[in-house]
């Protein structure tokens, strides 16, 4: 069953009389109970897409439905059914943790007790600070509180806009585990993120760049599309090495990746020679999902 349907959605912003196309005729579907990620660099249009789906802004073109309701005409129904966690922490900083949660529960005509089972995992971690004002919480706790508030009315769809941006590696991992548990409760989750490595944690991913969707698939399928051999190269002087790689015609693509540079080539012999000349270490590596995305984005730019 399809929960979120996006069909030919476009959004323009006019800035200093020039128009910026934030979303360019994008379409996709999200199934019931799916953990769906929209991945893309800053400025790709992720937030605009989420704000259209949560009925906060209107798209210029196209149709979108959430839980079967149209985002333009039936937005009132949608607002009853969704939980939205914006990228920026936007709860009342001068109310305490408990007051914030209580407030959002009561405006949905429910109470903390009624839906406690849903948020228990998350809320238990911040419960010791329930009398602290939200503004005084640490970044990770703010995020947990925001998620609790977005969940307190037991929404059927959860929209999380860059929930892991600016969060440390451990909290990010914890956060994704929380999302997995929520998914088990049958909640459809749409999450946006600029971190490509998080893609492998989702059921399906849409890669968004400059307002266009480059590919939508499961992480496994995206990985399997990567047919080329991927080389990793390393030497003492990494930056001159990268410049040298990029100046060679037989190198298709090269980019820094951790302590190595990843390289795609059509001429393995030349590459081996090159490595020798530069006294560099060369080896074949398995592509990660990030390599797949970089390849996709590169191809798209080349087109």
Residues that bind other proteins (CB under 8 A): 54-58, 75-76, 79-80, 82, 84, 86, 88-95, 99, 103-104, 106-109, 149
CB of 80 to other proteins, least distance (A): 5
Measured from the CB atom, is 55 or 288 closer to other proteins? 55
What is the spatial distance between Cα 29 and Cα 7, in angstroms, rounded to a whole number? 8
Shortest Å, Cβ 191 to other proteins: 16
Nearer to other proteins, 79 or 234 (CB): 79
The residue (of 75 and 278) whose beta carbon lies closer to other proteins is: 75
CB of 67 to other proteins, least distance (A): 14
Nearest to other proteins of 149, 199 (CB atom): 149
Minimum CB distance to other proteins, residue 56 (Å): 5
Residue 156 CB: number of other CB atoms within 10 A?
A: 16
Beta carbon of residue 78, minimum distance to other proteins (angstroms, whole number): 9
CB of 183 to other proteins, least distance (A): 21
What's the closest the beta carbon of residue 21 comes to other proteins, in angstroms?
18
**What is the 3-class SS of the chain, one letter each residue?**
CEEEEEEEEEEEEEECCEEEEEEEEEEEEEECCCEEEEECCCCCCHHHHHHHHCCCCCCCEEEEEECCEECCCCHHHHHHHEEEECCCCCCCCCCEHHHHHHHHHHHCCCCCCCCHHHHHHHHHHHHHHCCCEHHHCCHHHHHHHHHHHHHCCCCCEEEEECCCCCCCHHHHHHHHHHHHHHHHCCCEEEEEECCHHHHHHCCEEEEEECCEEEEEECHHHHHHCCCCCEEEEECCCHHHHHHHHHHCCCEEEEEEECCEEEEEECCHHHHHHHHHHCCCEEEEECCCHHHHHHHHHHHHHHC
**Sign of the Cα pseudo-torsion (162, 168, 170, 263, in order):** positive
Q: Burial, 295: exposed, middle or buried (Cβ in 10 Å; 0-12, 13-18, 19+)?
A: buried
Name the minimum Å distance from CB 93 to other proteins.
7
Task: Compare residues 113 and 286 and give the one whose CB is closer to other proteins.
Answer: 113
* 150 versus 294: smaller Cβ distance to other proteins: 150
Residue number with CB closer to other proteins (56 or 223)? 56
Closest to other proteins by CB, 100 vs 215, is: 100
């Amino acid at each position: 069953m399809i929960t979120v349907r996006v069909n030919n959605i476009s959004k323009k912003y006019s800035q200093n009389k020039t128009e910026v196309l934030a979303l360019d005729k994008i379409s996709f579907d999200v199934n019931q109970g799916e953990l769906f990620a929209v991945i893309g660099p800053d400025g790709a249009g992720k937030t605009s897409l989420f704000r259209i789906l949560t009925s906060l802004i209107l798209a210029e073109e196209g149709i979108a439905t959430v839980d079967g309701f149209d985002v333009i005409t039936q937005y009132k129904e949608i607002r009853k059914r969704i939980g939205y966690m914006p990228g920026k922490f936007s709860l009342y900083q001068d109310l305490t943790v408990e007051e914030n949660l209580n407030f959002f529960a009561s405006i949905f005509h429910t109470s903390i007790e009624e839906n406690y089972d849903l948020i228990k995992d998350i809320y238990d971690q911040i419960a010791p600070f329930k009398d602290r004002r939200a503004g005084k919480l640490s970044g990770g706790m703010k995020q947990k509180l925001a998620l609790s508030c977005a969940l307190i009315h037991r929404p059927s769809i959860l929209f999380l806009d860059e929930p892991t941006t600016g969060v440390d590696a451990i909290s990010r991992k914890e956060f994704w585990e929380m999302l997995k548990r929520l998914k088990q409760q049958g909640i459809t989750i749409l999450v946006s993120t600029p971190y490509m490595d998080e893609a492998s944690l989702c059921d399906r991913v849409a890669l968004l760049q400059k307002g266009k969707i480059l590919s939508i698939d499961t992480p496994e399928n995206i990985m399997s599309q990567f047919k080329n051999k991927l080389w990793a190269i390393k030497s003492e002087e990494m930056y001159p090495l990268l410049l040298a790689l990029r100046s060679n015609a037989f190198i298709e693509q090269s980019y820094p990746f951790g302590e190595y540079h990843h390289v795609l080539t059509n001429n393995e012999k030349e590459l081996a020679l090159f490595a020798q000349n530069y006294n560099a270490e060369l080896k074949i590596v398995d592509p990660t999902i990030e390599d797949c995305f970089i390849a996709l984005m590169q191809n798209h730019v080349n087109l």
